[in-house]
């Protein structure tokens, strides 16, 4: 996102409407007293969690029915940025009506996804993803308070970054969902590797079982393998056919799939999109005609960097003879 995107208030385009609404009008902000908990016939749980990475902190209040372990209501106080407020508000809402055991399974990915206006578009810019991690951690802290155990007992995944409390599963999922290609992007999205940096690669001040560089390579290799498999379409008879031999409908389907998995997310994050208009054979070439939508239609890179990126991905995933022609 260029400098021009950060002026004139357009920085808010990087935040979903849900996030903006919850920043300004949180539904569950406040506190719960012992008296209120008693009136509701439940046990009051108060949990605090602070994120050393950004100085933000959140306090979570639950009223839990001790007979059923169901969270009857939840409120929070947040000491941090607007995104932390929105994340904490959604987090509190997601826990209401669940048992403590079910609530503790809510992840930061669930919190971020619940803040999206639509399933395809991230709710916040990558540098704000860590706020949902804090919301995830305070749930575990509250559950530990209720059960009288250490919050680490709820860890059913390997923690790769101890500083930001980011798990192996979260890192892998974030790489796949957002098509990340660098360690720097992983850090932007999760804060993993942002502090002591010992989890980035071997040679840090403490030895790790997992490093971001290795995780990234492993996931990218898996994605590439899956991409190769996905670009081969099976006929009704069960035989695999090359892209050039497919029907027009099959070609359109595969092109859309590759674009959805590799390109559209980046375009949408910058306020744009694209549509495929037609696919035609032209001698030795397969020409794919596209139209840019939204911010992409007036972007200078739509005929240079963006176009080259789209064409390169389609060539790699589908057929080397592809040309992409914007109309």
Sheet holding 70-79, edge to edge: 43-50, 57-65, 70-79
**Integer Cα distance of 264 and 161 in angstroms:** 29
CA distance 18 to 2: 24
pLDDT mean for each 10 residues of the chain (327 residues)? 37 83 94 96 92 71 97 91 88 94 83 86 74 78 91 71 76 83 87 80 79 94 71 43 80 88 85 85 89 79 81 91 90
Per-residue pLDDT at 55 = 62
> Domains in the chain, please, with CATH?
13-218 (3.90.1010.10), 242-326 (3.30.300.130)
Residue numbers annotated as active site? 54, 131
Backbone angles phi, psi at 206, to 5 degrees: -145, 145
Determine how many CB atoms are found less than 10 A away from the CB of residue 4.
8
- Quickly count helices (H) and strands (E) in the chain: 12, 10
Q: What is the pTM of this model?
A: 0.51
Distance, CA of 11 to CA of 270 (rounded, Å): 10
């Amino acid at each position: 996102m260029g400098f021009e995107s950060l002026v004139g208030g357009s920085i808010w385009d990087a935040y979903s409407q849900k996030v903006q609404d919850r920043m300004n009008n949180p539904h569950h902000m406040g506190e719960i007293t012992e008296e209120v908990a008693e009136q509701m016939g439940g046990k009051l749980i108060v949990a605090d969690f602070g994120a050393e990475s950004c100085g933000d902190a959140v306090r979570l209040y639950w009223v839990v029915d001790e007979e059923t372990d169901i969270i009857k209501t939840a409120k929070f106080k947040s000491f941090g940025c607007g995104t932390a407020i929105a994340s904490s508000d959604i987090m509190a809402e997601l826990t209401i009506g669940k048992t403590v055991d079910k609530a503790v399974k809510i992840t930061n990915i669930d919190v971020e996804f619940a803040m999206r206006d639509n399933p395809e578009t991230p709710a916040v810019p990558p540098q704000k993803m860590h706020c949902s991690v804090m919301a995830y951690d305070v749930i575990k802290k509250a559950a530990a308070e209720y059960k009288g155990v250490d919050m680490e007992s709820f860890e059913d995944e390997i923690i790769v970054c101890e500083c930001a409390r980011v798990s192996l599963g979260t890192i892998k999922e974030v790489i796949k969902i957002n098509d990340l290609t660098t360690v720097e992007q992983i850090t932007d999205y999760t804060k993993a590797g942002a502090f002591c940096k010992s989890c980035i690669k071997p040679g840090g001040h403490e030895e790790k079982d997992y490093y971001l560089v290795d995780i990234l390579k492993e996931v990218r290799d898996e994605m590439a393998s899956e991409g190769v498999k996905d670009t081969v379409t099976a006929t009704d008879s069960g035989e695999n056919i090359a892209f050039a031999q497919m029907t027009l409908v099959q070609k359109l389907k595969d092109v859309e799939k590759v674009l959805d998995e590799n390109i559209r997310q980046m375009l949408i994050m910058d306020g744009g999109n694209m549509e495929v208009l037609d696919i035609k054979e032209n001698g030795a070439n397969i020409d794919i005609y596209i139209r840019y939508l939204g911010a992409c239609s007036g972007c200078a890179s739509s005929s240079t960097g963006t176009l080259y990126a789209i064409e390169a991905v389609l060539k790699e995933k589908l057929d080397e003879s592809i040309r992409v022609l914007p109309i």
